[in-house]
Amino acid sequence: MSENPLKELLDILLARLHLDTENDVAQMVREWIEIVGPDIAPHSKLYEIRNNILVIETDHPAWSSIILMKKKQILARIATQFPELGVTGLTIKSMK
């Protein structure tokens, strides 16, 4: 069994949907756990990148607050791992 079964599942899904798995945004989705951490990842997802602002969707306001407290760390990881995306900030969108 793989060390990261979720990554494998996402790779299979992206391939079946014929999506570009080499795309930086797709890569960021696959590495979401490493970017935000294992506690935050199940409660959040990358919603979109608009005007260099990463929009993160969360399932509860408490997780939104935690993400905002870790904003600098999250942006630093993204800048290091995905500099070509030019992400300069982040905002939160609550799930409906």
CB atoms inside a 10 Å sphere around CB 81: 14
More confident residue, 92 or 16: 92
- Token pair recorded at residue 87: 């992400």
pLDDT-derived band at 73 (thresholds 50, 70, 90) equals very high
Task: Assess whether pLDDT exceeds 70 at residue 18.
Answer: no
- What is the residue range of 23's domain? 5-94
Rounded mean pLDDT of 35-53? 94
Q: Could you give the number of structural domains in the chain?
A: 1
Query: CATH no. for residue 26?
Result: 3.30.300
Predicted pLDDT of residue 21? 55
pLDDT-derived band at 81 (thresholds 50, 70, 90) equals very high
Quick one: CA torsion of 35, 38, 42, 43, rounded to 10 degrees?
A: -70
The string of pLDDT tens digits covering residues 7-17 is 788 777 766 76
